[in-house]
Amino acid sequence: MTEYSESMNIAIIGGTGALGAGLALRWARAGHSVAIGSRDGGRATERAAELSAQAGTTIAGHDNATAAAGGDLIVMAVPYASHAATLNSIKPHLEGKIYVDVTVPLMPPKVRTVQLPEGGSVAKNVQKELGETVRVVSAFQNVAAAHLNDLDHSIDCDVFVCGNDKPARGTVIKLAQDADMKAWHAGRIDNSAVAEALTSVLIFINGAYKIDGAGIRIIGEPQLNDD
């Protein structure tokens, strides 16, 4: 069973995109072994070389299936339009692993309007499809990709981490800390609907107030680290 370590083997599916690349950079710099995946393995290799130079350490690039097969913890960072097909292509490689879904159900052109899928949320539907032998966690939907990609930028917002497996949530919270973010246990996978919906609200706020990457912050002093 995958649990947190200071040198985890992480595969980021859709890692050539802005959000996946930003997570790859920060986790590689923190000492984790990172591979990015793409539908086009050649594109992944090229992008991995660019990210390696930026991070100052090696990031590997593969096609999505190869990346997923080699990873102990899998992160899905693809656009919603390609989510179902991508998940189907890597499904055989997820058994027993922590699978982190950062997908937001944005449906252009109305990306400023909340449009959750039938079933409640992307992550809840994924957990239902994959079954309880895959430890599905939802996180990182509300972090601006531009901030992640700027390694000199402190991430001034918090992260909701949802999932039915509390130890898996704890692993993702520690990975968030490694990437210079503060994360919180936010309950079962059903609660992912809040984080997924919040992205459209933040996009609206960015436009209305000309903010470069609005985020959310939890205030108060925690007394317990629990559900």
pLDDT tens digits, one per residue of 114-170: 999 999 999 999 999 999 999 999 999 999 999 999 999 889 899 999 999 999 999
Instruction: Determine phi and psi for 8, rounding to 5 degrees.
Output: -85, 155
pLDDT at residue 227 tops 80: no
> Between vectors from CA 164 to CA 1 and to CA 198, what angle results, nearest 5°?
125
How far is Cα 201 from Cα 134, in angstroms, rounded to an integer? 30
Strand order in the sheet with 73-76: 59-63, 33-38, 9-13, 73-76, 98-101, 135-138, 158-163, 182-185
Q: Where do the domains of the chain lie?
A: 9-209
Question: What is the reported pLDDT for 21?
Answer: 98
CATH of 9-209, picked from 2.30.40.10, 3.30.70.260, 3.30.70.580, 3.40.50.720, is 3.40.50.720
- Give this prediction's pTM: 0.96
Could you tell me the pLDDT band of residue 203, with boundaries at 50, 70 and 90?
very high
Token code pair at residue 200? 């459209």
pLDDT in tens, 7-39: 999 999 999 999 999 999 999 999 999 999 999
